[in-house]
Chain A
Amino acid sequence: MLNLKTGKLNKNYKITEMHIQNKHMIQRLNALGLNHGTNVKIKQKCLFKGPCILEINGQNLSIRGCDACQIFLEEAHG
């Protein structure tokens, strides 16, 4: 399934589901604007399953690869 880990760089996506178990992590993601339906772009993926850099609402965030693959996407149009 398409997620933040497998998605392509610099393409517009929309978040469909977030399966992160860690309560604090999801709390912080929400506070930073990552919710269902948020538009997101993957800017960079680090080597060796390292963190990736995302762009949401004009801000850049970095999360770990293992969290990224728990956030599922669909292609966004426009």
Chain B
Amino acid sequence: MKDDRRTRDLGVLLPLACMLLLLPPYIVMFDQPVFLAGVPLLPAYIFSAWMFGIVCSALLSRRILRTRGDDKEEDT
């Protein structure tokens, strides 16, 4: 029950967090003339933040599928 609630909260928090990471003003902070292994910082940051969201979402959906697998009622 507690787990279920936390999963639900994460389902709300994750998109909000990703939204903050991918919108101004946060992305503006990474607009610097710096190169990471030959890649400019700004695109490197945006794609990393994006990948972070994808990985978190994959973990979260696995968790949701698992908790819902136990719950027959939700399964309809």
Whether both chains belong to one complex is answered with no
